Chain A
Amino acid sequence: EAGVAQSPRYKIIEKRQSVAFWCNPISGHATLYWYQQILGQGPKLLIQFQNNGVVDDSQLPKDRFSAERLKGVDSTLKIQPAKLEDSAVYLCASSLDVVAEAYNEQFFGPGTRLTVL
């Protein structure tokens, strides 16, 4: 079974530039998560989708971050404009339907390491 795919794996940009990350979840997984993991910290949830609808985006800095999952499958996370403090690993995870079973296992992708200079 293919895992969660993310691209790119690494990205270096200047502050104030924009960047986008892509995630393809495991086939059949209705729930998709984007996490931000700053060095030395645990992952922090940015946004959670159920199919193509947003379940929770309370910790997403909406003035600069946006995310979409238009067809309920793959997803993109965008930062515009980037700040130095956005340097982090961005992890995507997916799980089976959390409406049916609240704590289905989350499967994580390898992440995208973003460096903002």
Chain B
Amino acid sequence: AQSVTQPDIHITVSEGASLELRCNYSYGATPYLFWYVQSPGQGLQLLLKYFSGDTLVQGIKGFEAEFKRSQSSFNLRKPSVHWSDAAEYFCAVGVFWGKLQFGAGTQVVVTP
């Protein structure tokens, strides 16, 4: 069965520092992979997606993610975080007919 694991429940990072959020998936076929961000009181917003092709994908807000098939990973990165990046981040895998299976999320706290 398909699953998504986000090993880090909570990450604290200083403003201006780099950020990496981990995501591991289990899926039998070539996965469709997504990263969403959820700010307090807001719905989820798509940051980026991977369907095929170049394994390094660029998203909005300066985020990028790298698909590594050998490691079943799709980690999200940002070179320099801003206070506005404090939010919860969800990795998801597309199963079929547009259905998404989400990980449990990683809460990011940004300190001054």
Contacts and interface: CB of A to CB of B under 8 A. Distances in A.
Interface of A: 3-4, 31, 33, 40-45, 48, 55-56, 91, 93, 95, 98, 102-111
A89 B84 CA distance: 23
Contact of A98 (B44, B97, B103): B97
14 contacts: A40-B104, A40-B105, A42-B4, A42-B104, A43-B44, A48-B97, A55-B97, A56-B97, A91-B43, A93-B44, A102-B98, A106-B46, A108-B36, A110-B41
A111 B105 CA distance: 17
Contacts of B46: 105-106
Contacts of B72: none
A106 B100 contact: yes
Most B CB contacts (10 A, CB to CB) among A33, A56, A95, A103 go to A103
Contacts of B36: 108
Given A56-B99, A98-B97, A103 B51 contact: yes
Nearest to B103: A42
Contacts of A106: 46, 98, 100
A33 B44 CA distance: 13
B98 A98 contact: yes
Nearest to B45: A108
A65 B67 CA distance: 37
Interface string B92-104: 1010111110111
Interface in B34-83: 36, 41-46, 49, 51
A42 B92 contact: yes
Contacts of A98: 97-98
Contacts of B104: 40-42
A107 B43 CA distance: 8
A26 B43 CA distance: 14
A18 to B, nearest CB: 25
Contact of A95 (B42, B49, B98): B98
Contacts of A3: 43
A43 B49 contact: no
Contacts of B51: 103
